[in-house]
């Protein structure tokens, strides 16, 4: 039999490690192990009923055909209204793109702009797909590490340092996956001041966790803070996280018309339009009563506080309290080079996560996957009793190490 050889583009990338851990945990569960998975990147809440009702109505009304390639006008109107209402940004419908998920939006934008050798600045820890999508598009990811002391936030000096004549994009994500850290208005302004000095650099801001924020934190986005960057900023968002609609696959963005058109061209020759039913559901989500968001955030916040407290009670683990999303990114530095009861040495965060999964059936994602070690990501989009039990197991595991 002939051996399969992948393309050069595919050989440059690896499968999403977050999905791999979720998969491994699911396999152990299927084999009868009692596994608590804290590795998922999605809310454990269900899609709100009013959104589901809109989708059912769309099906019954026969809204089951192709739509405009990069989103139907009704959804683009709802998105323009959302940008206006939440972000004080005015986008014409010709400046809006809708795709099957935030992931597809980002990929289309990179594919539409990157030439071989173009550089994309990605602060670490990063959402796993930014570097690999850059590679797939033929670009070079420039990873800039942050540290726990600065709350995993990129400093203006580090950004300035990373910019070269080959820089195409700066990718910005706040609140962040995997750390939950969110930039204040002042912190964003300090970065946009640097960007203003470099007119060839485009800004991709991934605002997908915009609505999942705590303690009166005020979300802002770069183009809102520095309108001088509007003509080179792509403001990315979607319904996946806020509206618990990960399976519906709708992401969107506002940006300069030329870029939006190029992204539509890619869609016209690849995916075509995102699912028509999901688009109608998204109209309902964006236009509907948003008050359920506060209720869900209250639940997330109490879980965040509980998880941070439990983790900080474990010797060898140190956990910051982030402003948003549903992740924490604790350090396991104090446990590196220790031995499990069976003699395995924990050399790095990947070993830590793997041994924890084997010993206690708790699945988290190792920090190396996000470009910054020795840390691990815990998703607290899980039931409170599971989080409590997971906390006890992590403590027991850490105490078993010598």
Q: Which residues bind ligand PLP (CB under 6 A)?
A: 41, 101-103, 127, 173, 177, 206, 208, 238, 240, 246, 251
CB of 5 to ligand PLP, least distance (A): 29
Q: Residues 305, 387: contact at Cβ < 8 Å? A: no
CB of 239 to ligand PLP, least distance (A): 7
Nearer to ligand PLP among residue 123 and residue 251 (C-beta): 251
CB of 269 to ligand PLP, least distance (A): 20
CB-CB neighbours of 361 under 10 Å: 18
Instruction: Measure the CA–CA gap between 324 and 372, rounded to whole angstroms.
Output: 19
How much of the chain is in helix, strand and coil states, percent to nearest 5? 45, 15, 40
Nearer to ligand PLP among residue 134 and residue 173 (C-beta): 173
What is the per-residue DSSP string for 171-229?
EEESS-TTT-----HHHHHHHHHHHHT-TT-EEEEE-TTTT-B-TT-----HHHH-GGG
Closest CA to 91 of 76, 105, 80: 80
Nearer to ligand PLP among residue 212 and residue 320 (C-beta): 212
Nearer to ligand PLP among residue 247 and residue 341 (C-beta): 247
CB of 175 to ligand PLP, least distance (A): 9
Nearer to ligand PLP among residue 260 and residue 310 (C-beta): 260
The DSSP secondary-structure symbol of 370 reads G
CB of 166 to ligand PLP, least distance (A): 24
Q: For residue 374, say if its preceding peptide bond is cis, omega within 30 degrees of 0.
A: yes
Instruction: Measure the CA–CA gap between 131 and 125, rounded to whole angstroms.
Output: 11
Rg over alpha carbons for the chain, rounded to the nearest Å, is 21
CB of 133 to ligand PLP, least distance (A): 10
CB of 386 to ligand PLP, least distance (A): 20
Nearer to ligand PLP among residue 280 and residue 370 (C-beta): 370
Instruction: Measure the CA–CA gap between 29 and 175, rounded to whole angstroms.
Output: 31
**Which H helix or E strand runs over 160?**
helix 156-162
Residue closest to ligand PLP, measured at CB: 101
Nearer to ligand PLP among residue 187 and residue 206 (C-beta): 206
Name the token pair of 117: 């050798």
CB of 329 to ligand PLP, least distance (A): 13
CB of 314 to ligand PLP, least distance (A): 26
Nearer to ligand PLP among residue 274 and residue 330 (C-beta): 274
Q: Residues 52, 288: contact at Cβ < 8 Å? A: no
CB of 344 to ligand PLP, least distance (A): 31
10 Å CB burial of residue 215 (0-12, 13-18, 19+) is exposed
Q: Residues 244, 212: contact at Cβ < 8 Å? A: no
Nearer to ligand PLP among residue 126 and residue 397 (C-beta): 126
Angle at which helix 102-113 crosses helix 129-136, to 10 degrees, equals 40
Nearer to ligand PLP among residue 121 and residue 398 (C-beta): 121
């Amino acid at each position: 039999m002939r051996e399969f050889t992948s393309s050069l583009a595919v050989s440059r990338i690896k499968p999403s490690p977050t999905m791999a851990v979720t998969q491994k945990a699911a396999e152990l569960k299927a084999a009868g192990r009692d596994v608590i998975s804290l590795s998922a990147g999605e809310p454990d809440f269900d899609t709100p009923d009013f959104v589901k009702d809109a989708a059912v109505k769309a099906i019954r009304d026969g809204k089951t055909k192709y739509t405009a390639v990069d989103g139907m006008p009704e959804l683009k109107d709802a998105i323009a209204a959302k940008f206006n209402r939440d972000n004080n940004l005015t986008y014409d419908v010709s400046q809006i793109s809708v795709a099957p998920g935030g992931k597809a939006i980002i990929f289309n934008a990179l594919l539409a702009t990157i030439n071989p050798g173009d550089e994309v600045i990605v602060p670490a820890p990063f959402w796993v797909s930014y570097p690999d999508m850059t590679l797939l598009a033929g670009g070079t990811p420039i990873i800039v590490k942050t540290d726990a002391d600065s709350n995993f936030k990129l400093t203006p000096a580090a950004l300035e340092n990373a910019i070269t004549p080959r820089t195409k994009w700066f990718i910005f994500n706040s609140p962040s996956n995997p750390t939950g850290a969110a930039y204040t208005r002042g912190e964003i302004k300090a970065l946009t001041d640097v960007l203003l000095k470099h007119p060839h650099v485009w800004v991709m801001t991934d605002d997908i966790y915009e609505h999942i924020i705590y303690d009166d934190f005020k979300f802002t986005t770069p183009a809102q803070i520095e309108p001088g960057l509007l003509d080179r900023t792509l403001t990315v968002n979607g319904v996946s996280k806020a509206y618990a609609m990960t399976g519906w696959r709708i992401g969107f963005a506002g940006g300069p018309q030329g870029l939006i058109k190029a992204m539509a061209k890619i869609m016209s020759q690849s995916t075509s339009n995102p699912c028509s039913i999901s688009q109608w559901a998204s109209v309902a989500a964006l236009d509907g009563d948003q008050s359920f968001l506060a209720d869900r955030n209250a639940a997330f916040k109490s879980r965040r506080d509980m998880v941070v407290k439990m983790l900080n009670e474990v010797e060898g683990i140190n956990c910051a309290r982030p402003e948003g999303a549903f992740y924490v990114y604790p350090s396991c530095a104090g446990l590196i080079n220790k031995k499990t009861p069976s003699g395995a040495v924990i050399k790095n965060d990947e070993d830590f996560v793997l041994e924890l999964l084997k010993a206690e059936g708790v699945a988290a994602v190792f920090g190396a996957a996000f470009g910054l070690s020795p840390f691990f990501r815990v998703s607290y989009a899980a039931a409170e009793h599971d989080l409590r039990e997971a906390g006890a197991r992590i403590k027991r595991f850490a105490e078993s190490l010598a």
